[in-house]
Structure 1
Amino acid sequence: MTQPIDLYYWPTPNGWKISIMLEETETPYNVIPVDITAGDQFHSEFLTISPNNKMPAIVDPDGPDGQPMSLFESGAILIYLGEKTGHFLPSNPRERYLVTQWLMFQMGGVGPMLGQAHHFRQYAPEQIPYAIDRYTNEATRLYRVLNKQLGETEYVAGDYSIADIAIFPWILPYERQGQNLADYPHLQRWFDTINARPAVQRGLAILPDRRVSQNMDDRARENLFGTRQMEQR
């Protein structure tokens, strides 16, 4: 019998990527909360799994060689789960590279840039107009790239794949990024289609009351954005 995967998780866009993938592939898993506002990400036990002190991470007791396998970085986890389950990651090389390039687009652009838009629009202790404009404009540019692509394909790389699963959670809080989906009709169509998938809704429904609030206290702010991130470990 398949042993469940341990998912180290908190309800953020990166965490949702993996909970959605696990739900989509009907892979058994246990949720191990990593409260990033309380500093759980700095615990030594977690750092042995995720040395960059970021969640999500997984431990698969049945790795490729039959031995336990731990992984951090959500993009790597999506590739691993795609290969393990045989779903949402094509075996055909051409199709696989198309999916991989859009996954890298999310990892290198959508996540970091929209994350900065979130930070300077919602969480920064002071309003910095240059930073707000810089990252809101970059969010707009990335939305336009996606909208153009989705005017030509049903999903970002053709068929539904780990690329869609990676990008969707970052579009979910579009208003926080200064965006209006009505401005991007093809992206809106894609968004509504994915949002209606039962597995996606199940993946989003894990620890829904634990989402990070912009009204966080000083301790949470220190754990997320302060000097605790800079400490040597």
Structure 2
Amino acid sequence: MYAERAAQLPHVVAWRTRVPPGAEVSRILPDGCLDLIWHDGTVFIAGPDTTAQLGTAPPGSRFFGLRFAVGTGPGVLGVPADEFTDRQVPLDAVLPAAEVRRLAGATDDPTAALEELARRRWREPDRVMVAVAAGARAGRPVGVIADRCGLSPRQLHRRCLSTFGYGPKTLARILRLQTAVALARRGRPFAEVGSTAGYADQAHLSREVKALAGVPLRALVG
């Protein structure tokens, strides 16, 4: 059973799940986010993914996490996002081992312990990079985003890597995928999904979904 709620910090979602008996492999789509996860007494960072990841764990496993919205996690951890791209990294590789042990031992309420850690280390997101993410989500060309944010294309790329874990074009592809999947899951026809999300045509939609998610869009809707 998966559940989530708004965390005590802005731009952060607290979530939890327990793996039921007979659970199928879960497909975790790239979303531009960074997660801090407690899993049965171990704590790790799940970085921003460029393609879907397949999640497997024994039945009964418990997961508690904080999902940091696009660009907000690196400030809390004090490490550039591209250090974690497509990786799961033990938290004690970033923070002091004693602090991580206390967090790992919070078996009664892992979410509260995760939120307290994030609260102590909270940094407000860079406003320029918030604007970059908004531009990418709106489908604006990279050159337009750079101009509006007062950055050269090279500066934009470098800052996107450290903030989001990948460059602006990849960020835009991933955010567009999230929009398309959300629309499809609300029952919108695929032709409408493609045009609304900003794909050139149905073939473009199909190629991009398969490349990023690993399966056709129809497999993500059921």
Query: Which is richer in strand?
Result: 2
Higher relative contact order (CA 8 A, sep 6+): 1
Taking structure 2 as the reference length, the TM-score comes to 0.31
Query: Which is richer in helix?
Result: 1
